[in-house]
Amino acid sequence: MQPPRFWHRPPGLWSTLLSPLGALYAAGTARRLAQGQPSKQSVPVICIGNINAGGTGKTPTVIALTQRLQAMGHTPHIVSRGYGGSVTSVVRVDERAHKAADVGDEPLLLAAFAPTWVSPNRVDGAELAVQNGADAIILDDGFQDPALHKDLSVVVVDAARGFGNGKVIPAGPLREPIATGLARADLLLSIGPKKAQSRFLEAWGTPPCPHLTGRLTPLQSGMDWQGSRVLAFAGIGHPQKFFATVQELGADIVKSEALEDHQPLSQALMVRLEHEAMLLGAQLVTTEKDATRLPDEFRAKVLAVPVRLEIENWSALDAALTKLF
C-alpha cells in the first residue's frame, strides 16, 4: 500500500482525528523498548534504522557502511528480518539458491556485498554471524527492536520528505515521536540533493546528534542512457526518486509505473509491462532491488539501474566506528 497523502502534508483534519491512535502506537513502542532485555554480542552491533515507516534509504546505507568497514579491514556480516520472505528460521542468504520470495529482496541484494543472515529473531542471526567469523554486525532495520544491544545507531531519513507531518502512525508516517527516536540515535543521516538538505534543516532544525548528509548517485556502468526511450517501473518506498534518477541519466521516460513497495513481480505483470514497452519502442528499466524479484525469464530483458550512497563527510561516522574496535 502507498502511504496516505496526508502523512506528507501539514497537519489537517485526518491527522488530528487520528492523533489519539498515534499516541497509543507511540506508547506501545516505548513500552516495548523499556521492557526489552537487549542481548549484548561479543562484536559491535551497528543499527541502520529509521523513525519513518517505509523507504528512507537504509539499503544503500547498509551497502556503504559495509564497504567502509571492509576498507578498514573488518569483516562485517549483515542481519535482516527478511521482509517479504518466507523463511521461518535463521538462514544465510545464498544468491544462487535463494529467491526474493524466500529471503526478501533487500537481503538478496545485500548478500552480494557481505555475508547476510535472515532471521525472524535478530539475536539468533547475530549469534550465528559471530560464530561464522563476523567481527561486526550491521543490523538492517531494527531501531525499534529491543532484542539486540546496539553499539551504534544510525537513523536514516529522506531529506525531501523529512519526517512528514511529524505525527505517529496512523496519524503520520512515524514509528515513534521524533524527539524520542533521535534521543536514542548516535547519528542522523539525511539523504538527498543539496536543495532538499537545506529544506530539511529549515523544516526540522539542527538535530540533537551528529548529522551526516549524503545523496544517491547512479553507479557508472558504461551504459549510455542519453536519449534512450525507457519504461521505468519501481516497487520501492518512493518510486519517484528512481524515476528522477533515470531522467538525470538522460533517458527519455515514455512511461513510468509506480508499484507498491516490495510488490511481487508476477508473470502477468511483467508480460503486461513487456507488451507496453514493445508498443512504445522502449526498454524496460527498474531498480537494483526490484531486479532481485524478476521472474527468471525476464532477467535478461530488464535493465537495472544501481545507485550508491555518497556521504559528503565521513568524519563523524569514521570517528564513531573507530571507537567500536
Which residues, in sequence order, are CB contacts of 294 under 8 Å at separation 6+? Answer: 265, 270, 286, 302
SS3 317: helix
Under DSSP, the state recorded for 304 is: E
Element counts in the chain: helices (H) and strands (E): 11, 13
**Separation CA 127–CA 115 (nearest Å):** 13
DSSP H/E element including 181: helix 178-184
Residue recorded with cell 574496535: 325
52 assigned binding-site residue: yes
58 in a labelled binding site:
yes
The answer on whether 150 is annotated among ligand-binding residues is: no
Q: Is 59 annotated as a binding residue?
A: yes
**319: CB partners within 8 A, 6+ apart:** none
Contact 140, 49 (CB under 8 A): no
Evaluated on CA atoms 255, 237, 1, 267, the torsion sign reads: positive
User: Which among 211, 193, 260 is positioned nearest to 55, based on CA atoms?
Assistant: 260
Peptide bond into 218 cis (omega under 30): no
Q: Is 54 annotated as a binding residue?
A: yes
- Residue 240, amino acid: Q
Query: Does residue 60 contact residue 106 with C-beta atoms inside 8 Å?
Result: no
β 307-311/211-218 pair status: antiparallel
Nearest to 189, CA basis, from 5, 316, 16: 316
- 116-118 vs 91-92, strand pairing mode: antiparallel
Sequence ranges of the binding site? 52-59
Sequence ranges of the binding site for ATP? 52-59
